A and B are shown apart, each in its own frame.
Chain A
Amino acid sequence: MGIKEKTKVRAFHQAKWDEPIIFELSNKGERGILVPEIEEEIEATVGDGVSVLPENMKRKKAPALPELGQMQVLKHYLRLSQQNLGADLNVDVGQGTCTMKYSPKINEQFAASPKLTELHPFQDEDTVQGILEVMYNLDVFLREISGMDQFSLQPASGSQAILAMASIVQAYHASRGESEQRDELITTIFSHPSDAAAAAVKGYKVITLYQNEDGLPELEALKAAVSDRTAGLFITNPEDTGIFNPQIAEFTRAVHEAGGLCGYDQANANGILGITRAREAGFDLCFFNLHKTFSAPHGCGGPASGALGVTEQLVKFLPVPHVEYNGNKYSLNFKVPESIGKVRDFYGSIPVIMKAYAWIRSLGSQGLKDVACTAVLNNNYLFRKVLQIRGASAPYAKGRHRIEQVRYSWEYLTQETGVTTEDVTNRMIDFGFHMWSSHHPFIVPEPFTLEPTESYAKAELDEYIAGLQKVSQEAFENPDKVKNAPHNSVVHKIDNSWLDDPQKWAVTWRAYLKKHRHKKE
């Protein structure tokens, strides 16, 4: 049969195993794996090994972990994996801002090589020249892509890169004796929540600029916000609406004139590779999410990497160690006295770095540009199609194109049918799709954000559109069907009342047993 000829959506059903919690599968005495046996000679020499422990340090009661045979553990987790819809299976265009693109399998093989997995971070530099070469060259590639002068691959996510940016901004002002005076950090409401939140961790008072009718912050509002208290500006561009701020150079100029620094959150870089760069826009710092734009898979939420680049004047503040190359040998330089120190232990998310390196090598300069152009083509194709769906709209910048994603609204759908974004999300699942709303606060009413990247074929985009179309139609004809979704997924409508009530919430199985099971029995 395949995809239904008439509706163009699949008669999908998610795997539903009714899989118990792993503790419910436990059978006393079963073992999933055996540890190596101790050699007789060692035991004869040192005895049982644990007698040397002071009595108060000995564990009295074994941890109540589940006991399962190996195949039973495997089966349990395979079933859970089937109850998860990864990008490899999904037309994953519905998680806008997340850049759910194809993560090439060959890169997984590289990252799984024992030549990489079995390296210890304190090995002699002579024995890790390969991985240092990858790290150094990835830095050099990212310099070309951004126009920055040096990168640190240490931050393990975009948010950690923002924390590192805030730390560097602070160190820069401290070096000029102005860190106490400059206590304000400016960002925009359509920049990631961490642009505000990670800056606040470093003690900054956060000033958030809101959007005008084009969805963009006003230059005049920025000018009114900057002063001799301004430490810097952290801004995404294109913002999470997919709208590019054409005045971005004027923004950075205004901040520089006030004595602040500018950090470019390039989480949304996928549509601008080779088109426009942090350097030309006047930024002092920028970061890329290697797990987004540069193809490393997202791993259900990490490991990730936020590669952080800076201009020459800020290189001395980057986290240590710096990876260096003298034309002959790669090395780690810890002797950077003005460095902010470290934001993550060791050197970063190495497997993610490996995958991003390989992805760039596969594509080259023209390939990266092709990625950007195709992502923008796909997005504007989708944009055109979504606007034809009853109840959907795209606020701001009417008639203008978007870059790599669009923040849409179901406001009209909700007004006319009562069906909300959350309802649509839950119904899309029934067709094998994911659709995400947006970060809070919901400035755009009933928001949803689509980002098709370069990875999906036209037929897949058409299929996703057909899914949205179908749900919209249902909302008008049979809203309850949508409101009670999902119907074909692993679980049905979740009772959220347990999650915010301290008497009921249970973050572990043992807490569940204490709070709920005892009551029942």
Chain B
Amino acid sequence: MSKKQTRIHPYIPNLVPDVQAKMLEEIGVKNIDELYNDIPQHLRFKGKMNLPEPLSSEYALKCHVDRILSKNKSCQERLSFLGGGCWQHYVPAICDEINHRAEFLTAYAGEPYEDQGRFQALFEYESMMGELLDMDVVNVPTFDWAQAAGTSIRMAERITDRSEVLVCSTISPGRLAVIQNYCHPAMVVNPVKSCPKTGQMDVDDLKAKMSANTAAVYFENPSYLGFIEDQCQIIADITHQNGSVCIAGVDPISLGILSPPSNYGADIVCGDIQPLGMHMQYGGGQAGFIATHDEERFVMQYPSRLFGITQTAVDGEWGFGDVAYERTSFAHREEGNEFIGTAAALWGITAGVYLALMGPGGMQELGQIIMQKTQYAMRRLSEIGGISAPLFQTAHFKEFVVDFNATGKTVREINRALLEKGIFGGKDLSTEFSDLGNSALYCVTEIHSKENIDHLVKSLNEIVND
């Protein structure tokens, strides 16, 4: 036996020749190739896939991947002020402990019996999000905030039988791109102007644009640019007077201190749970939520799984299952609402763990400390000649626009210089929001110490005023 043949790959136990022989005999064929008889020769791939030689020993694989990953410089090794839809928050150890559990990690779409755990954990996730959002229905997570917003808008389309959505113009460009693709060609996505001074929605423009074809109005709180939209009740009233659906996108980590959108008239609330216990993972930790009131006209329009609680044959025992399954594409293919499939369930379980750890006190304290640190950073940055922050004259949460126009330098130049000092500066807005000129979106969370912020201020001062 050659050396190669004795190296049975550990992921494929039945490569052992004796075992294969026994199985082939049982099937009644001479070799495995016979099992492929249905695939005609002209469809067979005759070449050899040009892939690198296998690293079949685990140690060789580890050396290889570690070498590649070592080329990354992470936000843990550097000091980062990046946000814009993916945020660096502290991830409690228990969150990682639970989402690494093999029972959750390696399960899939099991029944509410042998996979009771995932049903209960996701029901509890929905329930805790429901408390945070002050709403009675929350879905099993979808892919990300962008998908959640896209689906919220398509739900409004079905509820109103109208085909236009009005969207705040300060929305994240990435999120807007997803929404546009998701709505095309069924719906038209039109922007509502924002006030240059506050960043908030231009209510006159909103009124002017409302029409008999407006299915929904979508705005965000806090906005992509960090300011808080405080005309929400006015926006919701205008929307409702027009028979349209009011949709608010929200960063759930703000809701320990900020009013939940259901309290100011939002009918559908969506957002991302990445800040609730998910590592950033280069944008891989996103997961979207959608919440509504417990009214059939909303519930029946969800495409998502909705796990509900029920009773079982044994008194006092909790059971779980799919609520109103018949509305899904699993039940009725293209006749169901949009589509459903695998999305981001493990992140939902994790966000539940996060909220259970934090409790009401933790969420409130966290919101407050983020407000304080953000204000401290804005104040200190504004002390630098040529820099002003925030650009918009409103309250902010976690993120804010820093105006570098008076420095005579581009954000690109400034960020290059910051990088040399080991700092990831805020996201350059000069192409996405060209009206703002040389501005950048900075993010400050609970992980930034006073020392970190002071270091940023000192470094920026050196760069712009050297």
Contacts and interface: CB of A to CB of B under 8 A. Distances in A.
Interface string A103-132: 110101111111111111111101111110
A400 B280 contact: no
A338 interface: no
Contact of A244 (B38, B333, B395): B38
Interface residues of B, number: 215
Interface string B29-56: 1001011111110111100111111111
Contacts of A243: 38
Contacts of B326: 500
Interface string A489-501: 1111111111110
A342 B283 contact: no
Interface string B6-40: 00010111110001101110111100101111111
Given A63-B134, A495-B313, 5 more contacts: A33-B358, A34-B362, A244-B38, A300-B105, A342-B174
A14 B112 CA distance: 13
14 contacts: A35-B366, A65-B132, A65-B356, A89-B102, A119-B280, A158-B342, A167-B181, A200-B339, A246-B43, A275-B45, A301-B346, A345-B146, A376-B36, A495-B310
B449 interface: yes
B323 A505 contact: yes
B107 A298 contact: yes
A34 B312 CA distance: 38
Contacts of A392: none
Contacts of A67: 359-361
A448 to B, nearest CB: 12
A440 B61 contact: no
Given A119-B72, A347-B283, A300 B54 contact: no
B195 interface: no
Given A58-B259, A201-B338, A511-B136, A38 B369 contact: yes
Given A65-B360, A507-B307, A86 B27 contact: no
Nearest to A95: B108
B379 A508 contact: no
Which of B71, B98, B263 has the most chain A CB atoms closer than 10 A to its own CB? B71
B341 A507 contact: no
B127 interface: yes
Interface string B54-73: 11101001101110111111
Nearest to B293: A511
Given A21-B120, A300-B104, A381-B26, A493 B54 contact: no
Interface string B112-125: 11111110111110
Interface stretch (A224-232, A364-372, A407-415): A364-372
Nearest to A342: B177
Which of B86, B310, B332 has the most chain A CB atoms closer than 10 A to its own CB? B310
A374 B343 contact: no
Interface string B275-292: 000011111111100000
Which of A110, A121, A508 has the most chain B CB atoms closer than 10 A to its own CB? A508
Nearest to B34: A401
Contact of A302 (B116, B134, B329, B343): B343
Given A66-B128, A84-B117, A118-B279, A57 B258 contact: yes
Contact of A301 (B36, B66, B136, B345): B345
B419 interface: yes
Contacts of A199: 334
A499 B324 contact: yes
Contacts of B20: 377
Contact of A362 (B56, B131, B446): B56
Interface residues of A, number: 220
A119 B36 CA distance: 44
A98 B331 CA distance: 18
A486 interface: yes
Interface in A116-154: 116-124, 126-131, 133-134, 141, 144-145, 147
A440 B101 contact: no
B369 A36 contact: yes
Contacts of B9: 362-363, 367, 370
B131 A64 contact: yes
A100 B108 CA distance: 8
B68 A133 contact: yes
Contacts of A275: 36, 39, 44-45
B105 A297 contact: yes
A327 interface: no
A1 interface: no
Nearest to A361: B55
B339 A163 contact: yes
Contact of B258 (A59, A65, A81, A429): A59
B406 interface: no
Nearest to B288: A345
A486 B113 contact: yes
A244 to B, nearest CB: 4
List the 3 closest A-B pairs by CB distance, nearest first. A346-B283, A364-B54, A350-B284
A344 B346 contact: no
A352 B281 CA distance: 10
B51 A364 contact: yes
Nearest to B344: A302
Contacts of B117: 80-84, 490
B100 interface: yes
B329 A193 contact: yes
Contacts of A113: 66, 69
B178 to A, nearest CB: 5
A253 interface: no
A89 B361 CA distance: 38
A348 to B, nearest CB: 7
B267 interface: no
B162 to A, nearest CB: 16
B74 A115 contact: yes
